[in-house]
């Protein structure tokens, strides 16, 4: 009888400590690699950085297009711009023009 009581007094707190340690380990693991954990936060930050870079690029492109459209919409139309666009769309050049082919612009 005394042995059982002593065994219970040792193993019961030991079992509680082990169960608590397992619960803490479970929550720590999911805090690191879970759906809303630290790794997911790092991935979201990387995606947000990429999205901001893409937004900046698209804003620059929009500003360029707005500038070009403003040249066409103004009271005096920029004839050079219209001629350039027409030649680009039709694939034609003037016989006195010198054509220098380059790679696509970035």
For 80-93, how does the pLDDT look when each residue is reduced to its tens digit (9 = 90+)? 777 777 877 887 77
> From CA 49, how far away is CA 42, in angstroms rounded?
11
- The pLDDT of residue 42 is 92
Encode burial over 24-60: b for 16+ CB neighbours within 10 A, e otherwise: eeeeeeeeeeeeeeeeeeeeeeeeeeeeeeeeeeeee
Instruction: Give the predicted TM-score (pTM) of the model.
Output: 0.50
Mark the ranges of the chain whose per-residue pLDDT is less than 50: none
| DSSP, res 95 | T
Most distant CA pair in the chain: distance in Å?
A: 114
| DSSP, res 93 | -
- The pLDDT of residue 20 is 96
């Amino acid at each position: 009888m005394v042995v059982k009581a002593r065994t219970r007094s040792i193993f019961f707190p030991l079992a509680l400590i082990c169960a608590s340690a397992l619960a803490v380990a479970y929550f720590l693991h999911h805090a690191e690699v879970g759906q809303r954990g630290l790794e997911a936060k790092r991935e979201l930050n990387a995606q947000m950085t990429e999205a901001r870079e893409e937004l900046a690029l698209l804003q620059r492109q929009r500003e360029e297009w707005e500038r070009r459209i403003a040249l066409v919409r103004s009271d005096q139309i920029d004839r050079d711009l219209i001629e350039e666009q027409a030649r680009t769309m039709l694939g034609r050049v003037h016989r006195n023009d010198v054509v220098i082919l380059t790679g696509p612009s970035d």
